[in-house]
Structure 1
């Protein structure tokens, strides 16, 4: 059974200073607060370190509770941007390591 995933690749923005982007990280809510997200995050980190990629970014909607997780994992909120859909704007934060 799959309970979570990550999706990573070439950064969509700031590729001159960021080695890779964690496009998405998702864990089923019933598996939160069990250390699974931390393990998954650390495995991604280890994999990219073997490729000699050091700096990374992940974008999250600024009001998303995942922002707390990214801060806990050492992410620094460095970039801001906005998304628009159906004339509604959402602020997003780029966390970097």
Structure 2
């Protein structure tokens, strides 16, 4: 059984492990291999320890006591018209994918952001990310595009937007 819970400082190492492992599997062939190889869990753990002290919502998914995924979000960082919140990151270990865990994480974040007074949410996603269908299936619609530097290479990214957080939250059974 999967448990979705608010992340705490003690989770920084597990989140870093999921973050690095997910980048290496999700972005292989998209992001420069040298960049993926350079990712260090210890460095990400330091970043996550700091990130967990900020005004952001972070939730982890635990399966049999092990963190297998996470989601983070908060106030939008770069204005996109019609949206006030942003899904910063959602990552799952490969073996935890296609089991409804990502949908549960998305729903938990949407419910939390709605409770904080946000109405809508968007997420920047690498255009070549094979997980793009996840955003569409969850009701996200492409609303913008740009290029982003990842590992010294400019890559196309698209913004998926949800105009109504409550629709996401209710759509996944108010996790």
TM-score by length of 1: 0.90
Question: In the alignment, is residue 63 of structure 1 matched against residue 128 of structure 2?
Answer: yes
Corresponding residue SS for 1:68: helix
Q: Which has the larger radius of gyration?
A: 2
Question: In the alignment, is residue 89 of structure 1 matched against residue 154 of structure 2?
Answer: yes
- 1:17 pairs, out of 63, 76, 82, with 82
Corresponding residue SS for 1:3: strand
Q: CA RMSD in A?
A: 1.4
Partner of 2:117: 52
- Take 1:9 and 1:46, find their aligned partners in 2: how far apart are those partners? 12
Residue 48 and residue 59 in structure 1: after superposition, are their counterparts in 2 closer, same or farther (change >3 A)?
A: same
Partner of 2:139: 74
Q: What is the CA-CA distance between 1:16 and the residue it aligns to?
A: 5.9
- Take 2:77 and 2:117, find their aligned partners in 1: how far apart are those partners? 19
Unaligned runs of 5+ residues in structure 1 are none
- 1:37 pairs, out of 88, 102, 107, with 102
Q: What is the CA-CA distance between 1:15 and the residue it aligns to?
A: 6.0
Unaligned runs of 5+ residues in structure 2 are 1-65, 163-175
Q: Where does structure 1 differ by over 4 angstroms across 4 or more consecutive aligned residues?
A: none
Deviations 1:20-75 (A, max 9, x none): 11110011110111111111111111111212211101111001012110000000
- 1:8 pairs, out of 47, 50, 73, with 73
Q: Which has the higher helix share?
A: 2
TM-score by length of 2: 0.52
- Take 2:126 and 2:112, find their aligned partners in 1: how far apart are those partners? 26
- Take 1:15 and 1:46, find their aligned partners in 2: how far apart are those partners? 21
